[in-house]
Amino acid sequence: MKTNEKKNTSAKKKLIPAVAMLTTSAVMLSTATYAWFTLNREVEVKGLQMSATASNSLEISLGDLSTGEGAATITNPADNSATWSRVITVGEYYNSVGKLKPASSANGLNLFKIDDESNIYAGGTKVKDDATVVAVENKNTATLTPGKATDVQKLTQVDPDSNDKGYFIDVPMWIRTSAKEKTQVYCTVTITDGNSADAKVDGDELMKAVRVAIIPKAEGATATALNGSSSLTPGALDATVEDNENVNIFGLDSKTYDAGNKVLDGAADTYKAAAKSAPTIVTANGDADNAITAANTAVFTLSAASATDKTYGVEGFIVRVWLEGESQSCYDLTASQDWNINFNFSLDQRTGV
């Protein structure tokens, strides 16, 4: 009898930690679905800044801002528009942006998300193999609201309780040159932590999950109308690119959770089937751990300005921003960070800093 009692007591002692571990696991699973594709509910983008600088014979514009009766609107800039400048700040043309939720893309054109976010677990670092993957559509954008921001250096976040959230933002931009021959345009992208004055990257900041795609749309002698996040209509995500041009994706590193460096590429039935090889990303000086600038890269070719009149060579392009859900830096503990994105366009290839 005593032997049996000892055995029962021993079994109970072994069972207690097992039950505790099971309970802990259950709690972790029940609270781990707030990241990766759902991480945006904690993201603070109230300090989001986007600016661009053009050098040489280049001028850049964010479009003409109309602030008359009714809602403000953005239209393509006229040849004589005062918006053409060497330096632009997004806050001068937009005043707020919706929250960003992580998505995933292999080419910057087609974005994908998990249909049922409860299939994301382990603090946002894992997705169930049989989770359904669906394509991101235009209606899934985080809206950019036209109008001048109170602080032109920053876009304010919409009301934290607002349902205005999405998986990407598209910002229409135009660049032009007076050069009389076709010229290649290079771009350097710098991404910094909006909450820190320190120029270095320390640890796995969310800013390492930021992806910026430059999508060439149209060239000619005048600025062509483009749709941005403020005017996108429901439907398939706009994935068209100007003939003979390519999309460049910028980021501070390309490290993903998957050992094979994979992201989502295709609305396959399951997450496991949709995971494909990651795209070529213009990273920060060879993935240097503390770098904040993605190396200078040719992004498109500008047509020549007319030799007989005052027309320019103009390129209309979209800057698409999203958080890469497969990035190693996209998880719960990084959710409270924001970032600044700065572009430098030039006609010469420069070395990143």
Mind listing the pLDDT tens digit for each residue in 142-156? 888 898 877 665 666
**Helix/strand/coil (H/E/C) assignment for every residue in 214-262:** EEEEEEECCCCCCCCCCCCCCCECCCCCCCCCCCEEECCCCCECCCCCE
Q: What whole-number distance in Å separates Cα of residue 146 and Cα of residue 129?
A: 40
What is the maximum span of the chain, computed from C-alpha positions, in angstroms?
109
pLDDT band at 32; cut points 50, 70, 90:
very low
Tokens, residue 240: 């068209």
Report which residue type is found at 136: V
pLDDT score, position 335: 59
Token pair 């602030």 in the structure block, residue = 67
Task: Quote the Cα angle for 195-322-49, to 5°.
Answer: 35
- The length of the chain in residues reads 353
Mean pLDDT of 249-278: 80
Determine the average pLDDT of the residues in 10-24: 35
Average pLDDT over residues 341-348: 87
CA distance 183 to 301: 6
Residue 346 has pLDDT above 80, yes or no: yes
Share of the chain above pLDDT 90, in %: 26
Mean pLDDT over residues 111-125, rounded?
84
- pLDDT at site 178: 87
Is the C-alpha dihedral spanning 282, 286, 290, 292 positive or negative? negative
Across all residues in the chain, what is the average pLDDT? Answer: 76
Range of 6-10, 238-242, 327-331 with top mean pLDDT: 238-242
In this predicted structure, which of 10-19, 51-60, 171-180, 184-193 has the lowest mean pLDDT?
10-19
pLDDT for 84: 94
Helix, strand, coil percentages for the chain (3-state, nearest 5) = 15, 35, 50
Q: pLDDT at position 53, please?
A: 85
Cα 299 from chain centroid (whole Å): 17
Q: Is the pLDDT confidence value at 120 over 80? A: yes
Report pLDDT for 179: 85
Following CA atoms 19, 22, 26, 29 in sequence, which dihedral angle do they give, to the nearest 10 degrees?
160
Q: How far apart are CA 182 and CA 305, in angstroms?
A: 8
Tens-place pLDDT, residues 279-311: 788 887 655 566 778 878 899 999 888 877 778
Q: Indicate the pLDDT class of residue 42, thresholds 50, 70 and 90.
A: very low
pLDDT tens per residue, range 69-116: 778 899 999 999 999 999 988 888 888 888 788 899 989 999 999 888
The residues pairing with 213 across neighbouring beta strands, listed in sequence order, are 249, 320
246 falls in which pLDDT band (50, 70, 90)? very high
The pLDDT assigned to 89 comes to 87
Closest to 175 (Cα-Cα) out of 62, 23, 339, 40: 62
